[in-house]
């Protein structure tokens, strides 16, 4: 068998595993893992089996992958979504149950992850305040800077117009000084009025 054919077979097996994890086909995933397919492989779209299972909330498949050595903090290099960790995906999706599940199994709360920043930034973008409170209660770093603007979480919340998230971040100790350094054109008029009324500006 040529090296090219071997490579094609390996890639096909990887994509089969990722597809099984997308669909929640635990038996298929189990057999492919037993055959030697890496639980940390990346298929043609550069996602991972674990990210596929997390996105579609297949909890038993996630446990299976972790049992076979999947790295719960592995950052995939997805073609359409840049790089992402499983916890960042869960937070971006506003999935509190999944975030709890992953943290219980060793996911890192402050790990940076490409387009979503860290899980706290992703939770802010999700607009799920219950998830945001949970991530804050897990001692997420409220001053971590990410993105083109080097936003702290409170700046990210202000930029997205999320007043309740701003209040919650302040409650958990976020500094308001970075807000005063933001250019006003980055903020909506209603957010500017809110920040002034709360004496954050």
As given in the structure block, the two tokens for residue 81 are: 């979504």
Which whole-number Å values give the CA distances from 92 to 3, 11, 52, 96, 117, in the listed order? 40, 28, 14, 10, 10
> pLDDT tens per residue, the chain (201 residues)?
444 443 344 468 999 999 999 999 999 999 999 999 999 998 887 889 999 999 999 999 999 999 999 999 998 765 545 568 999 999 999 999 999 999 999 999 998 877 667 899 999 999 999 999 999 999 999 999 876 557 899 999 999 999 999 999 999 999 999 999 999 998 999 999 999 999 999
Q: How far apart are CA 172 and CA 142, in angstroms?
A: 8
Rounded to two decimals, the pTM is: 0.87
> In the chain, what are the domains?
109-201 (1.25.40.20)
Do 69 and 36 touch, CB atoms closer than 8 A?
no
3-state secondary structure of 2: coil
Ramachandran class of 36: left when φ > 0, alpha when ψ lies in -120 to 50, beta otherwise = left
């Amino acid at each position: 068998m040529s090296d090219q054919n071997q490579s094609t077979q390996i890639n096909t097996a990887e994509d089969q595993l990722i597809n099984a994890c997308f669909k929640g086909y635990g038996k298929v995933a189990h057999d492919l893992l037993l055959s030697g397919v890496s639980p940390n492989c990346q298929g043609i779209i550069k996602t991972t089996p674990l990210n596929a299972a997390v996105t579609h909330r297949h909890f038993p498949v996630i446990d299976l992958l972790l049992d076979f050595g999947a790295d719960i903090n592995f950052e995939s290099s997805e073609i359409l979504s840049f790089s992402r960790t499983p916890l960042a995906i869960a937070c971006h999706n506003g999935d509190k149950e999944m975030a709890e599940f992953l943290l219980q199994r060793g996911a890192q709360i402050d790990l940076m992850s490409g387009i979503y920043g860290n899980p706290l930034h992703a939770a802010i973008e999700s607009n799920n305040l219950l998830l945001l409170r949970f991530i804050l209660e897990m001692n997420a770093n409220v001053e971590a800077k990410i993105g083109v603007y080097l936003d702290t979480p409170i700046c990210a919340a202000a930029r997205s117009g999320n007043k309740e998230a701003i209040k919650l971040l302040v409650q958990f100790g976020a500094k308001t000084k970075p807000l005063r350094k933001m250019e006003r054109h980055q903020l909506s008029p209603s957010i500017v009025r809110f920040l002034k009324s709360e004496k954050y500006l």
